[in-house]
Chain A
């Protein structure tokens, strides 16, 4: 969380948002799900954060919603998301650099029930971006079922 900042860094602005779709009993493992390989995980993480960033910078969450899992769509509206992520828009937090940024650290991908859990940290020139993303398979494709992003501006 952004509350545990290192002393060498000043927190100029931080924004943390977590939206988790409630998992239903029907999501209990009914079939074997494989963890995608490292390359596919990398694509999922970066593409999801770029879509999230586009939504924040445009104030329009309709594309993010359309790409999310059915479970996520069932529980959140674009309006709810706009409200939840207001701090990102307000602080003009631009995460675009994560598309090419190095990972500062990341956890080994794991399955939580049928949900794929991808957790890690990017460092860009201006930001530290911690992400915790959950995905569910919908029609054989991994779709976002929850998103938790914590960004901290770093002082140069």
Chain B
């Protein structure tokens, strides 16, 4: 962490659905263009944030991939993301925030689209590592790793 910033509260959660052999066809998938990546990242983080703000993970689960749904329940997500709620690490600002940095999108060896980067809002630094798999021609969330850190005001 940079010296100009104090870590008041931080929360990291990673949930990755196990990849299965039948995901291999996704290897042939093209990486979406920059605009589509941007939409995927922001909408996924907003859906995640909505779930944390309301303590209701049903919609996030419904919007995720079949692979993710098969391995996690709303109750499991409620437990996994508890620290976001207790520390009030909410970040609706990612709807419009500038990227602090981002990595080039890749399709990993398991066929998942991997999007990694950092947003800075007025109050938070939000690091994300998101994985997506194609379900019925649409990219759906397969894994989510978010590290939110409150900045000192």
Contacts and interface: CB of A to CB of B under 8 A. Distances in A.
A51 interface: yes
Interface string B16-48: 000000000000000000010011001100110
Interface residues of A, number: 22
Interface stretch (B49-57, B110-118, B123-131): B49-57
B39 A99 contact: yes
A96 interface: yes
Contact of B96 (A46, A55, A57): A46
Contact of B54 (A43, A53, A67, A100): A67
A97 B39 contact: yes
Contact of A50 (B47, B54, B58): B47
Interface of B: 35, 38-39, 42-43, 46-47, 50-51, 53-54, 56, 58-59, 62-63, 92-93, 95-96
8 nearest interchain CB pairs? A58-B62, A66-B54, A46-B95, A99-B42, A63-B59, A50-B46, A47-B92, A47-B95
